[in-house]
């Protein structure tokens, strides 16, 4: 599940939105006496008036279930809503649980998942204000607990995601442009959001834990104006600027702030050594680097950073390949001019990506073979355990936005696979993605472990239990 919290001062405005006739709204739970916009507004306002010093007594929680959960029963939605707000401390408070249908005229696309809204009065029936300190963080932790307790699809916590999520507006805009490409209304590919370009660039240039000078020079070569600043008091901050858009603070990107570049990404910053490069960056001067240390946009697959639904929605396989190529061309900045070199890099990017250059061809081929053998089993294992992250003694398996990885006990990559769609029998298809340098890769022992009888028996048992649970739940629904 994905949770979102809003707060405000106007119960009338909230209930007019939640109970709008075009949303197919249904009240499925709560403790309020009224059931119309006017009745609920009056009822909640009367209670809030007990504590007029609280100017924003409105709490609005949104819970979206994963598409994999299918159609969730009303009883379960109501139970989860009640448990969530009570664990947040809203025990003696008015609340209403409202379901909206998936078809939503207010949006360009219908929802592909069930979702509910919970309107809560922050002022209790006794006139006390509930402490909502760190509600967002606590709400997310509670959601993870409820997913496990009710055997729902587990979603990766926001702190474990590799990038900041796109806003609803960005997703809607991208979908509109995808639709227009399909229908021929526009020939240009959709505009990649600036946040995705910056995120992908930062990931690419920090892969080998560079110095701050190298970090700055690489980003400048990609057309990104970066400003790293250390104040007189020692405070560190950084911003990124691209394509004439507003500058992005580092904190708005995953591990993009100055402190996290150092602590999480391993960027080596020596104030004395890197002082000149930092001054150049602040004054919009170019840091010169040897060509072999630079990274070009043609080496960065931007489509891997798009949410899975946006990456392939409404486009056939052939159109998708052309679009991915166009996305890179459209967003390329300051890349090398030799057309032959660009063509070769684009061909390499659009095909199954090789592993690190230090591997010999026969080792690369073997790693690709191991990946295509293990990836379907690892993905099936995660689904059977209803999680996106599974940690064992020797391996950590993770899945996020179409990318499946396996790491060893020390956090080194053994496998990176990218989903490339579903074939006719509904099986996920995978391609091998290049590993960072010095990665151990997969071994024959890994293949034997994943394809052995012990794994097969464990998978069969888990999947049988899951199927039995689904049948029982459907039986209760009848």
Domains of the chain, residue spans: 2-155, 194-298, 361-466
> Which of 77, 152, 165, 99 has its CA nearest to residue 401?
165
Element (H, E) at 44: helix 37-48
pLDDT at 306 over 60: yes
DSSP 351-407: SPPP--TTS-HHHHHHHHHHHHHHHHHHHHHHHHTT-SEEE-SS-EEEEETTEEEEE
User: Quick one: pLDDT at residue 473?
Assistant: 67
User: Quick one: pLDDT at residue 116?
Assistant: 95
pLDDT band at 292 (very low <50, low <70, confident <90, very high): confident
User: Quick one: pLDDT at residue 408?
Assistant: 86
CA-angle at 140, arms to 101 and 204, nearest 5°: 100
Question: Mind listing the pLDDT tens digit for each residue in 28-65?
Answer: 999 999 999 999 999 999 999 999 999 999 999 999 89
Lowest mean pLDDT among 105-109, 152-156, 286-290, 315-319: 315-319
Most confident option among 111-115, 116-120, 230-234, 423-427: 116-120
Q: What is the mean pLDDT of residues 409-432?
A: 77
User: Quick one: pLDDT at residue 250?
Assistant: 92
Cβ atoms of 367 and 432 closer than 8 Å = yes
pLDDT band at 310 (very low <50, low <70, confident <90, very high): low
Residue 78 vs residue 168, higher pLDDT: 78
User: Quick one: pLDDT at residue 355?
Assistant: 44
Lowest mean pLDDT among 77-91, 134-148, 189-203, 323-337: 323-337
Cβ atoms of 256 and 250 closer than 8 Å = yes
What are the CA-CA distances from residue 150 to residues 50, 115, 327, 358, 394 (Å)?
A: 37, 16, 41, 47, 29
Backbone angles phi, psi at 456, to 5 degrees: -60, -45
Lowest mean pLDDT among 41-45, 221-225, 368-372, 409-413: 409-413
Task: Look at residue 154 and give its three-state secondary structure.
Answer: coil
Cβ atoms of 113 and 71 closer than 8 Å = no
**Rounded to an integer, what distance in angstroms lies between the CA atom of residue 355 and that of residue 364?**
6
Q: What is the mean pLDDT of residues 396-403?
A: 85
Number of other CB atoms surrounding residue 296 within 10 Å:
19
Most confident option among 16-30, 115-129, 362-376: 115-129
**Rounded to an integer, what distance in angstroms lies between the CA atom of residue 268 and that of residue 276?**
15
Give 219's strand partners.
none
Residue 177 vs residue 87, higher pLDDT: 87
pLDDT at 329 over 50: no
Q: What is the mean pLDDT of residues 116-133?
A: 95
Question: Mind listing the pLDDT tens digit for each residue in 143-190?
Answer: 999 999 999 987 765 554 455 555 556 666 667 777 777 777 777 777
**Rounded to an integer, what distance in angstroms lies between the CA atom of residue 354 and that of residue 184?**
34
Percent over 70 (pLDDT), the chain: 78
Number of other CB atoms surrounding residue 282 within 10 Å:
14
Backbone angles phi, psi at 470, to 5 degrees: -60, -40
Give 42's strand partners.
none
pLDDT at 393 over 90: no
Q: What is the mean pLDDT of residues 433-457?
A: 85
**Rounded to an integer, what distance in angstroms lies between the CA atom of residue 178 and that of residue 174?**
6
Residue 295: partners with Cβ closer than 8 Å, 6 or more residues away: 204, 205, 218, 221, 222
pLDDT at 326 over 70: no
Cβ atoms of 423 and 430 closer than 8 Å = no
pLDDT band at 465 (very low <50, low <70, confident <90, very high): confident
Give 121's strand partners.
58
User: Quick one: pLDDT at residue 361?
Assistant: 58
User: Quick one: pLDDT at residue 464?
Assistant: 87
Element (H, E) at 16: helix 11-18
> Which of 32, 37, 8, 29 has its CA nearest to residue 73?
29
Q: What is the mean pLDDT of residues 232-257?
A: 88
Question: Mind listing the pLDDT tens digit for each residue in 342-382?
Answer: 434 433 433 333 344 444 556 777 888 889 899 999 998 98
User: Quick one: pLDDT at residue 55?
Assistant: 93
Q: 300: buried, middle or exposed (CB in 10 Å: 19+, 13-18, 0-12)?
A: buried
Q: What is the mean pLDDT of residues 426-447?
A: 80
Q: What is the mean pLDDT of residues 2-14?
A: 92
Residue 287 vs residue 419, higher pLDDT: 287
Cβ atoms of 373 and 396 closer than 8 Å = no
Backbone angles phi, psi at 425, to 5 degrees: -95, 15
Integer-rounded Cα radius of gyration of the chain: 25
Residue 225: partners with Cβ closer than 8 Å, 6 or more residues away: 240, 241, 242, 247, 281, 284
pLDDT band at 318 (very low <50, low <70, confident <90, very high): very low
pLDDT at 301 over 90: no
User: Quick one: pLDDT at residue 11?
Assistant: 96
Length reported for the chain: 478
Q: What is the residue whose two structure tokens read 């990946």? A: 371
What are the CA-CA distances from residue 304 to residues 162, 312, 352, 403, 422 (Å)?
A: 11, 11, 13, 8, 16
Architecture, CATH, for domain 2-155: 2-Layer Sandwich (3.30)
The greatest distance separating any two alpha carbons of the chain, rounded to the nearest whole angstrom, comes to 75
Percent over 90 (pLDDT), the chain: 39
pLDDT at 463 over 80: yes
Q: What is the mean pLDDT of residues 285-299?
A: 89
Residue 13: partners with Cβ closer than 8 Å, 6 or more residues away: none
pLDDT band at 336 (very low <50, low <70, confident <90, very high): very low
**Rounded to an integer, what distance in angstroms lies between the CA atom of residue 458 and that of residue 461?**
5
Q: What is the residue whose two structure tokens read 């009883």? A: 75
């Amino acid at each position: 599940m994905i949770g979102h919290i809003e707060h405000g001062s106007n119960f009338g405005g909230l209930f007019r939105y939640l109970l709008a006739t075009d949303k197919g709204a249904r009240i499925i739970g709560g403790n309020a006496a009224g059931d119309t916009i006017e009745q609920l507004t009056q009822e909640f306002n009367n209670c809030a008036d007990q504590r007029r010093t609280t100017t924003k007594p409105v709490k609005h929680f949104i819970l979206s279930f994963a598409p994999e959960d299918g159609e969730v029963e009303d009883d379960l939605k109501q139970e989860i809503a009640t448990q969530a707000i009570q664990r947040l401390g809203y025990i003696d408070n008015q609340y209403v649980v409202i379901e909206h249908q998936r078809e939503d005229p207010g949006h360009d696309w219908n929802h592909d998942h069930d979702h509910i809204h919970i309107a809560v009065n922050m002022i209790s029936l006794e006139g006390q204000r509930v402490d909502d300190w760190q509600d967002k963080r606590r709400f997310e932790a509670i959601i993870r607990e409820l997913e496990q307790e009710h055997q729902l699809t587990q979603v990766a916590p926001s702190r474990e995601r590799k990038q900041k999520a796109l806003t609803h507006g960005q997703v809607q805009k991208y979908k509109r442009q995808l639709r227009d490409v399909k229908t021929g209304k526009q020939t240009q590919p959709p505009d990649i959001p600036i946040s995705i370009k910056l995120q992908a660039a930062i990931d690419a240039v920090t892969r080998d834990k560079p110095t701050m000078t190298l970090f700055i020079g690489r980003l400048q070569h990609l057309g990104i104006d970066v400003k790293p600043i250390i104040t007189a008091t020692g405070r560190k901050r950084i911003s990124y600027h691209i394509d004439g858009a507003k500058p992005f603070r580092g904190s708005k990107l995953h591990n993009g702030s100055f402190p996290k570049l150092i602590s999480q990404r391993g960027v080596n910053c020596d104030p004395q050594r890197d002082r000149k490069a930092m001054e150049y960056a602040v004054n919009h001067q170019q840091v010169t680097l040897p060509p072999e240390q630079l990274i070009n946009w043609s080496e960065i697959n931007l489509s891997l950073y798009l949410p899975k639904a946006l990456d392939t929605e409404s486009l056939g396989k052939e159109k998708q390949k052309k679009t991915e190529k166009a996305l890179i061309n459209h967003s390329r900045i300051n890349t090398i001019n030799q057309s032959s070199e660009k063509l070769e890099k684009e061909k390499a990017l659009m095909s199954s990506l090789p592993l690190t250059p230090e591997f010999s061809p026969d080792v690369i081929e073997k790693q690709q073979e191991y990946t295509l053998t293990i990836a379907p089993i690892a993905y099936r294992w995660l689904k059977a355990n209803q999680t996106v992250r599974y940690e064992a003694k020797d391996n950590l398996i993770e899945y996020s936005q179409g990318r499946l990885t396996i790491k060893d006990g020390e956090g080194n990559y053994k496998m990176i696979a990218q989903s490339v769609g579903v074939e006719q029998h509904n099986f996920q298809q995978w391609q091998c993605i290049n590993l960072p340098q010095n990665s151990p890769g997969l071994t024959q022992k890994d293949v034997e472990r994943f394809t052995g009888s012990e794994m097969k028996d464990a998978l069969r048992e888990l999947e049988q239990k899951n199927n039995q649970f689904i049948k029982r739940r459907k039986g209760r629904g009848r």
